[in-house]
Amino acid sequence: MTDIFSPVRLGELELANRIVMAPMTRDRAGPNDEPTPAMAEYYRQRASAGLIVTEGTQPSPHGKGYWRTPGIHSAQQVEGWRAVAEGVHQAGGKIVMQLMHVGRAAVAANKNPDAETIAPSAIACPDPIAGPDGVPVATVMPRALETSEIPGVIAEYAAAARNARAAGLDGVELHCASGYLPMQFLSSNSNLREDAYGGSAQNRVRFVVELLETLAAEIGPGRVGFRICPGVRFNGMADADPAETYTTLLRAIDGLGLAYCHLIHIPNDGFDALELVRTNWSGAVIENCGLTLEKARAVLEAGKAEAVSFGYLFIGNPDLVERFRSGAALAKADRTTFYTGHGDDHAGYTDYPAITGRGTA
């Protein structure tokens, strides 16, 4: 029987327990998309998680789509992340950076004036996205990438992974879900390309496969994970056959020796995503999506995953692991402050009390 509090190894990542803090956008970066002291404190408070996956972090200015999200492409940003990593490590935790290029899921007002919005095909994201004032607005029409430009985008990711390691983070997670750039290549309705990166499932997975191969070569495969959500329709995704797409993807990358697959497990007609992953992927799995402690334990005890991740519960409970262990009551996070921060604003961010004293009372 697998204990949720037992240690586990995911690639090169040695976790003290199997409870992972899932990536969550909080819109708290500084004016130059740099991590702030408040961000460093926020992650330090939650370092009892076996692993922290950071909020989505843009590998280049072109990859930004949301207001106040952090980057990892400037010296100032690297230094900000260094403070984050040091705080987590001093508190005994492990932390990896989620690399998130939003592609077409972008609002021009949230980006630098000279930053482009790019995608596999010139098809706008149909879902509105919040602008700087929090009001959702229509997304911009992306420019379709030329085939010759794709290696340059992959190189931006590679530089971001090197920067993350230089800042002291333990690895990276490639965000391949939520309708962002990698998923835009994967999905048949957002990828209408006629070159080697479009058409068949084998072609549509090529961008993600090359990305993961490159990240593995840059920082070592055991420090690279990836996050998927087969069948999700967020940000206009509507793949004609997600089971085929993700079977093709998983089989293509199974031999790379990557650290883990982080699965957002949602219901799908015709297939179960966790079964699909387990059938086509021999590596470690982190299960995510609406888990309670009881459900998480059942997943681990059944051998369906090596670790489990929680999102919202970590916002209001900086010491979630200790609360799970002791049976203490869980605090409820204030949803009205999820995305209201400005730089070093601590309200609804670092001011949730922790029963162990790890957080700020």
List the catalytic residue out of 42, 43, 180, 246: 180
Name which of 289, 183, 195, 290 is nearest 242 in CA terms: 183
CA dihedral sign of residues 167, 168, 171, 175: negative
Dihedrals phi, psi of 129, to nearest 5 degrees: -130, 140
Q: Quick one: CA dihedral 312, 316, 321, 325, positive or negative?
A: negative
If we measure between CA atoms, which residue out of 205, 168, 200 comes closest to residue 184?
205
Report d(CA 84, CA 63) in Å as an integer. Answer: 21
Given a contact cutoff of 8 angstroms between Cβ atoms, the answer to whether 101 and 180 are in contact is yes
DSSP state of 61: G
CA 301 – CA 308 distance, rounded (Å) = 11
Cβ neighbours around 131 below 10 Å, total: 16
180 catalytic per annotation: yes
Question: CA-CA distance, 345 to 339, in Å (whole number)?
Answer: 11
Q: Closest by alpha carbon to 87, among 35, 126, 142?
A: 35
Q: What are the catalytic residues?
A: 180
